[in-house]
Amino acid sequence: MFTQCARYRDDRKVSKFSPGPCKLLAVSTLAVVTMAFVFPVRSQSILASRYPLGVSLNAASGPAASMGGTAVAVRNEFNVLLANPANLGSIEKTVFSALLTSDFLNIRQGSSRATFTSIIPEQITFAFWLGSAGTLGFGIESRTDLRTKYRSVAGISSGITDRVEMAYSANGGLTTYHAGWGYNLLDYLTLGIGYERFYFTTDQTSFQSGISGTGFPPTRDSLFVRARGNAFRGGIQVPVWRLVGGLTGEYFFPTEADVVDGIFWGEDSQEDVDRDDLTLQIPPSLAFGVAYNHTEQMLFAADIKVVLWDEMQGEGFLGDAGRQRAYGFSLGGEYIPAPALLAPQYWEKIRFRGGFRFDQLPENADREWAVTAGAGFPLTANGLIDAVLEYGRRTSDSYDNYTEEFVRFSVGINAGRKWARSRAANRY
């Protein structure tokens, strides 16, 4: 894996070688998250080069991230609209949520190792309650990451013995801007719909040189794809006794993408540079979840999801041919020591959470799992700081003894304020 990774484009085989203090903390976290969206530093997953859109970042709120990403049926005001826009229907205040993640990645294959660190701005979201008209939500979400950089020098022998240098780099990913609306139908059902504007770019370059004595010049192969388009999302949440069931789906409308595809020979000359358009279809997805409020202290939840990669279309440029559906699931729980006490001690108000998730990746032989643990620390009656720790691995059956092991530490800030009386209060 460290020496080569092939990508097939159209009917040509083009090799790619890849591989107080609380308020101050809140303001500082918001500033860092905002700057990170403008000046992002990304991860370095080599497996990202195998996937049409890159590695999924599993963006979520702090509460959802600490529960393994489980949130489809969880009614939590700080989840806003990312996991399920129907959650907006249960929000009766103005809410803000943001999450910033530090990623530590260790790539191993046999005795070879490489370590990378990165800062990932995952999401910023807002919700505004409009009383009887429902709740509006807005947000920015980093969805996938394509950033990879790799270089190696290998020996070859074919009549002559020499060394060849191979390098591969890629940048880009998928970002979505959200606008949604949610409504509560007499506490029997909450529903939500959302519009998304998405932006996708990939800028890939592979380079090989150093075969002396053959007259073979340095070769650089590049691919640039840029697309923007629209997507729709909808969902429902249905409470039954202590259970809540949730369902959500997302559909990306086909869009035109700009493509520049070229192979460059030698230092200055060039050959076979194409500028064209392609039709890009990002795969839709579905997710179902169940949440069980055992008591006021304890919550358990589970999600199942599927990404329809067989619906992906990129006309061969993004390695989208022959994909199959990818399934995943997650489990999570939350415990609050004393949620109902009028004057609890501080530690009795902390929200302790944990979770587990498993996902098939776009390449069917690849998979990812992770365990999470976190805590939500109350700032005031209307705010919460989340600290989340995640440990996980990506593996691939296509390569022997290959592992991407990651540790992520996330800090989230959540705040809300009620400006009007709730529906329940108005009934009395």
Per-residue pLDDT of 275-316, as tens digits, reads 778 899 999 999 999 999 988 899 999 999 999 999 998 877
Residues 6+ apart with CB under 8 A from 167: 17, 150, 151, 152, 206, 207, 208
Q: pLDDT (tens digit, 9 = 90+) per residue, 355-401?
A: 999 999 988 789 999 999 999 999 877 899 999 999 999 998 888 88
Cβ count within 10 A of residue 132: 8
Would you say 163 and 147 are in contact if contact means Cβ atoms under 8 Å apart? no
State the pLDDT at residue 210: 62
The structure's pTM equals 0.84
Mean per-residue pLDDT for 223-247? 96
Q: What is the pLDDT of residue 170?
A: 87
User: What is the rounded CA–CA span in Å between residue 126 and residue 143?
Assistant: 18
Mean pLDDT across 174-202: 95
Q: What pLDDT shows up at residue 148? A: 83
What tokens appear for 286 in the block? 């579905």
Q: DSSP label at 244?
A: E
pLDDT for 143-159, tens place per residue? 998 888 777 665 555 55
Is 50 exceeded by the pLDDT of residue 428? Answer: no
pLDDT tens by residue, 59-78: 899 999 999 999 999 999 99
Pick from 70-74, 268-272, 338-342 the range whose average pLDDT is largest.
Answer: 70-74
Q: What is the H or E stretch that residue 63 is in?
A: helix 62-65
For 40, the 3-state DSSP assignment is coil
**CB count, 10 Å around CB of 65?**
29
How far apart are the C-alpha atoms of 71 and 87, rounded to whole Å? 9
Per the rule left: phi > 0, alpha: psi between -120 and 50, beta: everything else, 174 is beta
Q: Tell me the β-bridge partners of 124.
A: 98, 140
Can you give the length of the chain in residues?
A: 428
With 70 as the cut, is the pLDDT of residue 218 above it? yes
Lowest-confidence segment of 11-15, 26-30, 34-38, 87-91 by average pLDDT: 11-15
What is the enclosing helix (H) or strand (E) of 139?
strand 135-142
